[in-house]
Amino acid sequence: MGKPTGFLEYERKGSRAEDPLGRIRHFHEFHTPLTEAQQREQGARCMECGVPFCQSGMVLNGMVSGCPLNNLVPEWNDLVYNGNWGQAYNRLKKTNSFPEFTSRVCPAPCEAACTCGLNGDPVSIKENERAIIEKAYETGEAVARPPKLRTDKKIAVVGSGPAGLAAADQLNKRGHNVTVFEREDRIGGLLMYGIPNMKLEKPVIDRKIQVMKEEGVSFVTGADIGRNYKVNRLKRDFDCIILACGASNPRDIQVPGRDAEGIYFAVDFLKSTTKSLLNSGLEDGSYISAKDKHVLVIGGGDTGNDCVGTAVRHGCASVTQLEMMPKLPDARAENNTWPEWPRVCKTDYGQEEAAAVFGRDPRMYQTTVKEFVRDESGKVCKAILVSLTPQKDPETNRTMMMPVEGSEREVAADLVLIAAGFLGAEGYVADAFGVELNERTNVATDGKSYGTNVENVFAAGDMRRGQSLVVWAIREGREAAKEVDRWLMGYTNLA
């Protein structure tokens, strides 16, 4: 695939990121794409490796290696190299419902498993994917293609995140009549309000939703199933229901002073910024502002980094990000061999920006909050931090992060953002449908059928598997669509 000697002739090259001090002045995406000629050279780097681990989607040592969607990466890399953009789009769409999303927000496990990466730099798969889908919109390839025949089956999809949209897209292509219900005022779920604009600009979502509408998918916003929209109404009007509401319960931290004013969950902070940005360009002042505040972000993952980048754009006075675990090594450890996911320290866009503004990496490793301190008005003003050290639990043999006695110290904090992950499905939705939850508070399903304990009610995405990646949510939605189609028709021809 690609040019047989391309990986020897061309170096990896990616899109150019705007300087951190420039991009913090706006909320737009900040990468300048390669030229078409440069992108074709990157496609040429895909080598004839024989076994394309990039598309494997395997779990190795507890981590995913390769694309969970089993994207046909070598095929469309070769087509990019040869300039056959239309066919590259067709091969990409065969496995991926939304390359316009994954090419922007996926951490690219495909690249981590690329054979080129064994002794050099991997192929720029994610950038090639983005080039393909953007070229398809530019040339008219990505237009609406409604199904030629319709069945009489009606399906309700609850939740318009990546899992719900993927299920809806596939079932609509099959000819079923699909309606997507979303409790927010805009379609997109996690994509719309959970991921900041600088990673995924919202016109990208709107563009795809418009195509889906033209293909026949119906959308209903402001429909909070189980609250302002009755479950019995869905059961009466639809043959089948898919729950794809995400893992929406944020994990809290219980320490003294937690009830102080000025402490928020990260998802509420990010959502308020995006909603105000879309409604008024932040002019309405209806968002949780970090301007001139000392911001403390609790959580070292992607959401925590998004909070850092957003706080910097607000004009915060300082930002500190806490990570409970030790800092990962800068290079692969000997026990973390290719093609496993590389467990190495990475500096993301928000951390780069904080370092550019404040002169230091905002992360503090092996640290957590012991107590929040209020001022006279009840607002948080400080946090007492404590260092952590790994210790083996003698009963379970698991490594636990334990406080170090005497390591307490104070930091200024008048805005605290909790980005400690999510615990599972929201109880009121599960209760409204009567579906059972498993020990992780995710919706329990019957093996690989995606069916719940309630007849004709299925579940997919984070609501079923727990907090995960957008690419996994898309796979879940596609797989659930196959099972629903089989349940409705007795067989399925969905890929």
Q: Which two tokens stand for residue 189?
A: 């779920």
271-295 pLDDT, tens digit each: 999 999 999 999 999 999 999 999 9
Report, as an integer, the average pLDDT of 205-234.
Answer: 97
Strand 218-220 and strand 177-181: the pairing is parallel
**How many beta carbons lie within 10 A of that of residue 284, not counting itself?**
11
Nearest CA to 244 out of 484, 52, 28 is that of 484
**In terms of C-beta density within 10 A (0-12 exposed, 13-18 middle, 19 or more buried), how is residue 348 classed?**
middle
Residue type (1 letter), 422: F
In angstroms, the CA 480 to CA 463 distance is: 12
In angstroms, the CA 290 to CA 482 distance is: 45
pLDDT at 437 over 90: yes
pLDDT band at 397 (very low <50, low <70, confident <90, very high): confident
Domains for the chain: give ranges and CATH numbers: 6-139 (1.10.1060.10), 154-248+423-489 (3.50.50.60), 263-418 (3.50.50.60)
Report, as an integer, the average pLDDT of 388-408.
Answer: 92
In angstroms, the CA 485 to CA 475 distance is: 15
pLDDT at res. 33: 95
340 near 385, Cβ under 8 Å?
Answer: no
pLDDT at 339 over 80: yes
135-164 pLDDT, tens digit each: 999 999 999 999 999 999 999 999 999 999
pLDDT at res. 1: 61
Percent of the chain with pLDDT over 90: 93
In angstroms, the CA 351 to CA 272 distance is: 21
DSSP-derived secondary structure for 163-212: HHHHHHHHHHHTT-EEEEE-SSSSTTTIIIIIS-TTTS-HHHHHHHHHHH
Task: Compute φ and ψ for 173, nearest 5 degrees.
Answer: -60, -30
Task: Compute φ and ψ for 103, nearest 5 degrees.
Answer: -70, -10
Residue type (1 letter), 486: R
53-67, 268-282, 408-422: which has the minimum mean pLDDT? 53-67
pLDDT at res. 62: 87
Nearby residues of 77 by Cβ (< 8 Å), 6 or more positions away: 1, 2, 43, 45, 46, 123, 125, 128
Write out 333-376 in H/E/C secondary structure: CCCCCCCCCCCCCCCCHHHHHHHHHHCCCCEEECEEEEEEEECC
Buried-exposed string 363-376: b where 16+ CB fall within 10 A, e elsewhere? bbbbbbbbebebee
